[in-house]
Amino acid sequence: MADFSNQVTFITGAGSGIGRATALAFAQAGAQVVVADVNETNGQQTVAEILQLGREARFIACDVANPDDVEKAVKYTIEQFGRLDIGINNAGIGGKYARLVDQTFDDWNRMLAVNLSGVFYCMQSEIRQMLVQGGGKIVNLSSIAGVRGLVKAAPYTAAKHGVIGLTKTAALEYVRHNIRVNAVCPVYTHSAMVDELINSSPDMENRLRRAIPIGRFGQPEEIAQAILWLCSDENAFCTGQAIQMDGGLTAG
């Protein structure tokens, strides 16, 4: 396991799913963790689980669609721990499962506000701090929908493609400043978001599982381990990449 002792990790959407699993994984590896989430109950639960591990953690309420919230959350991280070594931009929403012409302007705008603009706001604040302190690592959560089309999810697919574009551009702009930026692209992974999709149709779970060659959904802890690897010193030569965690879906 990589050692993140004395490193400070800021994670959005850390109240559940991949975000919570990632927060716990970093804590287990020695990091101090700032848990950012719109849901205070869930966020505080993540903090409580980290404290039970004997590690340090703080919670801050943060709506990533609000740039002022993001700026305050990053400033809070610095106030609490003095620096920011790792930014994990995980917060996101699933959106409405409908064909493109049935998506409303509100559906579109909300999706981009959270899943794309939210990543942009986070990276801006994180990178400003990392430039001051001489480096850092960022991992953005895209999706398998960031590298291929996804029927009945046009806003989500567009946003997740955009996350990869932001990741690659930021990686090129800041690689000489000792800042590495990568993304992970999970296939359907057990979470509240995927549960909502499953519940939209009686046969949805089987349909989604059949599409994955490995024959099952991902586990949040599996995605978390990929994120830790991307942030580790052993992976210091990797930047600007979108790592597909998809059970073989895009191999064919």
Q: Would you name the residues annotated as active-site residues?
A: 156
CA–CA separation, 233 and 149 (whole Å): 33
Torsion of CA 22, 61, 91, 167, to 10 degrees: -90
CA dihedral sign of residues 28, 31, 32, 37: negative
* Nearest to 240, CA basis, from 150, 175, 158: 175
Separation of alpha carbons 91 and 12, rounded Å: 5
Contact 139, 230 (CB under 8 A): yes
* 234, amino acid identity: E
**Residue 70, amino acid:** V
Side-chain half-sphere CA neighbours of 63 within 13 A = 5
Q: Please name which of 9, 55, 1, 53 lies closest in space to residue 35, comparing C-alpha atoms.
A: 9
Find tokens 């992976």 and name the residue.
235
